[in-house]
């Protein structure tokens, strides 16, 4: 773990940090990686990864159209909307 | 009126006309006001509570009585409540008024419960001490210098302090069980899939599970019955029979895993041994079991929970709801500034850990490896349930610790979850219940059961609580 890795992770996560917080983050992430590196000592040869604790597959609903929400009600909590559209800074000049 | 009355006692008091739902609501609202320094609540909707209480009184008069009609309960602020702030204790959702009710909230309302408020918690349920909340820490009512545990710390402290009859919580790696233990209340993490996650703000979706915090196993069962059941709105919701909360007890084999007992401090060992002897005196038999991969659980948990959190929390973009930075120049800045301002440091740490575990070059070494060990941990339990009916363990390596004792040291904080994460990774139900006191602070024990074995856990819990009074202890009122 180094500052370069931290930069990459911040960029992938769309996060930024104050300079003072970067040092602490580097220390914390290094010790977290130290903690999780304990996993290397466990023999997992031939073990299937487990993604779901009950090992059931995701159930699918029938593919039938349904109106489950009211657009106006849901958009009432949006920071900025106009005519039912979400507003963001201009992307195309 | 007794602030520590059980749901059963409140039910009969309401039905017999000893007090009205309106009086009960006023009583709890006054207590919440008087205990403001505990910081248990993020939102209290007094007007809504009193309106609901009036409806409950009408329903009781008309004999339209549900199991929880007129009973005031509080929801952890992770559950969406239509028309009420649902902040998840984050600045990110400081302005989020949920447009719908979570299934848990909806079902408890249908059972007649009154939502008295929304309880404080660790931000996005990430924490073991309730110190990461945007709204400030919750204090433990047993000792205001101590943490209540986390992440459902507001719920646990509210039940302990007699501010609500019971509360909901959520448990990803111990977030119901550890605060229940620190505050001397009974908390149940159901089997993964037993309780719908719809409208429960997602942290780690293969682990998150809602459940009750209450005064007794009996009350926890009453709440579970109202909360549980298949929900088509949650694709991981299980189709299972409702929990039989009135089943009669039988002699059980109680598994004692050395991996959970060997490193325990002498004072906690003494309390836990006493609990084991009480269970034996009730006709149950302790048998040794082995859970050899226990020591890997913390590492596995922090990889899997981090990976799922980094994915789930990518939805907070400042566009559709939640915090939006003031004047971003472009779309990238909008994302980055909104997220950086909206999330606290522990949430950022978890997102970054998860992003690391999922990134190119590390995926196999961390994420896949963690999923493989997750299978081994689950298999350990399945093997142990060949030898024992339930497993008895401590909940936490310590009683409630002082505020700020661990907050700067994430590793020590993460290791607080060592006894609770394994059952979460295996998707098993687990009950945390008070079994003693050490240095004047409550100590909890944990019953872990087989998948969908809640009935077994609650029955044994009821039996233990009919023989002991630890669950009936409560902290002195600060304003007494």
Which one is catalytic: B87, B129, B175, B310?
Answer: B175
CB distance A86–B320 less than 8 Å? yes
Which one is catalytic: B20, B90, B151, B152?
Answer: B151
Mean pLDDT by 10 residues, chain B (480 residues): 96 98 98 98 97 98 97 98 97 96 98 98 97 98 97 98 98 98 98 98 98 98 98 92 92 98 96 98 98 97 97 97 94 96 96 94 94 98 98 97 93 93 98 97 98 98 97 77
B109 flagged as catalytic: no
State how far the alpha carbon of B107 is from the alpha carbons of B89, B229, B317, in Å: 23, 10, 31
- What secondary structure letter does DSSP report for B392? E
Beta partners for residue B390, in sequence order: B254
pLDDT reported for residue B480: 41
Beta strands of B4-71 (E only): which ranges?
Answer: 41-44
What average pLDDT is seen over chain A? 91
Distance CA B166, CA B431 (A): 15
Q: In what order do the strands lie in the sheet with B430-438?
A: B41-44, B114-119, B72-76, B166-171, B209-214, B186-189, B430-438, B441-448, B390-394, B253-257, B285-289
pLDDT reported for residue B451: 97
pLDDT reported for residue B477: 67
Distance CA B151, CA B169 (A): 8
- Residue-wise pLDDT tens digits, A45-61: 999 999 889 887 777 88
Is A92 touching B (CB cutoff 8 A)?
A: no
- pTM to 2 decimal places: 0.97
Is A85 touching B (CB cutoff 8 A)?
A: no
Query: Which residues lie closer than 8 Å to B443 by C-beta, 6 or more apart?
Result: B181, B268, B271, B272, B399, B434, B435, B436, B437
What was the ipTM of the complex prediction?
0.94
pLDDT reported for residue B479: 45
Q: Which of residues 10-49 of A touch B (CB under 8 A)?
A: 10, 12-17, 21, 25, 28-29, 31-40, 42, 44, 47-49
B196 flagged as catalytic: no
Nearest chain A Cα distance for residue B391, angstroms? 18
pLDDT reported for residue A70: 87
Query: Which residues lie closer than 8 Å to B41 by C-beta, 6 or more apart?
Result: B32, B74, B117, B118, B119, B120, B154, B158, B163
Q: Which residue ranges form the domains of chain B, and what is each CATH number?
A: 7-252+389-472 (3.90.1300.10), 294-362 (no CATH)
B267 flagged as catalytic: no
CB distance B238–A56 less than 8 Å? yes
pLDDT reported for residue B112: 98
CB distance A39–B330 less than 8 Å? no
Distance CA B8, CA B417 (A): 32
Q: Which residue has the tokens 């908390």?
A: B187
pLDDT reported for residue B249: 87
- What secondary structure letter does DSSP report for B211? E
pLDDT tens, per residue, chain A with 93 residues: 899 999 999 999 999 988 888 999 999 999 999 999 999 999 999 999 998 898 877 778 888 888 777 899 999 999 999 999 999 998 887
CB distance A50–B371 less than 8 Å? yes
Q: Of B99, B411, B427, which has the smallest distance from its Cβ to A53's Cβ?
A: B427
Distance CA A26, CA B83 (A): 41
* Pairing label, strands B253-257, B285-289: parallel
């Amino acid at each position: 773990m180094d500052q370069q890795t931290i930069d990459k992770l911040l960029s992938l996560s769309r996060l930024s940090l104050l300079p003072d917080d970067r040092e602490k983050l580097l220390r914390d992430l290094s010790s977290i990686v130290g903690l999780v590196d304990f996993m290397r000592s466990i023999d997992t040869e031939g073990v299937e990864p487990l993604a779901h604790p009950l090992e059931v597959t995701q159930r699918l609903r029938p593919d039938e159209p349904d109106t489950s929400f009211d657009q106006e009600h849901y958009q009432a909590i949006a920071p900025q909307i106009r005519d039912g559209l979400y507003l963001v800074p201009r992307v195309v000049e | 009126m007794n602030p520590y009355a059980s749901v059963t006692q409140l039910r009969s008091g309401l039905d017999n006309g000893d007090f009205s739902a309106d009086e009960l609501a006023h009583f709890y609202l006054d207590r919440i006001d008087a205990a403001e320094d505990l910081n248990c609540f993020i939102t209290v909707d007094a007007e809504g509570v009193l309106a609901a209480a009036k409806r409950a009184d009408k329903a009781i008069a008309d004999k339209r009585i549900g199991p929880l009609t007129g009973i005031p309960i509080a929801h952890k602020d992770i559950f969406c409540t239509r028309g009420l702030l649902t902040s998840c204790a984050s600045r990110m959702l400081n302005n989020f008024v949920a447009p719908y009710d979570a299934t848990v909230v909806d079902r408890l309302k249908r059972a007649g419960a009154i939502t008295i408020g929304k309880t404080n918690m660790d931000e996005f349920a990430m924490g073991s001490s309730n110190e990461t909340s945007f709204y400030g820490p919750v204090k433990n009512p047993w000792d205001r210098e101590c943490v209540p545990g986390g992440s459902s710390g507001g719920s646990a402290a509210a039940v302990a302090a007699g501010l609500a009859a019971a509360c909901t919580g959520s448990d990803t790696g111990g977030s119901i069980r550890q605060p229940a233990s620190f505050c001397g209340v009974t908390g149940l993490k159901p089997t993964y899939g037993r309780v719908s996650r719809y409208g429960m703000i997602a942290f780690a979706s293969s682990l998150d599970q809602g459940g009750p915090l209450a005064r007794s196993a009996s009350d926890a069962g009453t709440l579970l019955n109202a909360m549980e059941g298949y929900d088509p709105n949650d694709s991981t919701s299980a189709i299972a029979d409702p929990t039989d909360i009135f089943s009669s007890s039988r002699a059980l084999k109680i598994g004692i895993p050395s991996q959970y007992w060997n490193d325990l401090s002498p004072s906690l060992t003494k309390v836990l041994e006493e609990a084991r002897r009480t269970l034996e005196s009730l006709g149950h038999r302790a048998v040794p079991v082995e859970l050899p991969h226990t020591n890997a659980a913390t590492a596995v948990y922090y990889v899997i929970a981090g990976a799922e959190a980094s994915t789930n929390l990518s939805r907070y973009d400042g566009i559709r709801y939640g915090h939006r930075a003031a004047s971003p120049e472009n779309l990238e800045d909008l994302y980055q500034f909104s997220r950086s301002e909206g999330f606290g440091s522990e949430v950022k740490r978890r997102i970054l850990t998860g992003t690391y575990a999922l990134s190119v070059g590390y995926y196999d070494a961390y994420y896949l490896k963690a999923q493989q060990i997750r299978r081994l941990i689950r298999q350990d339990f399945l093997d142990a349930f060949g030898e024992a009916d339930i497993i008895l363990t401590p909940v936490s390596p310590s009683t409630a610790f002082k505020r700020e004792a661990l907050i700067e040291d994430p590793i020590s904080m993460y290791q607080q979850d060592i006894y609770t994460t394994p059952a979460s990774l295996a998707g098993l139900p687990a009950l945390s219940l008070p079994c003693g006191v050490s240095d004047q602070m409550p100590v909890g024990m944990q019953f872990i059961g087989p998948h969908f074995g809640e009935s077994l856990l609650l029955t044994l819990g009821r039996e233990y609580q009919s023989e002991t009074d630890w669950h009936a202890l409560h902290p002195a009122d600060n304003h007494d």
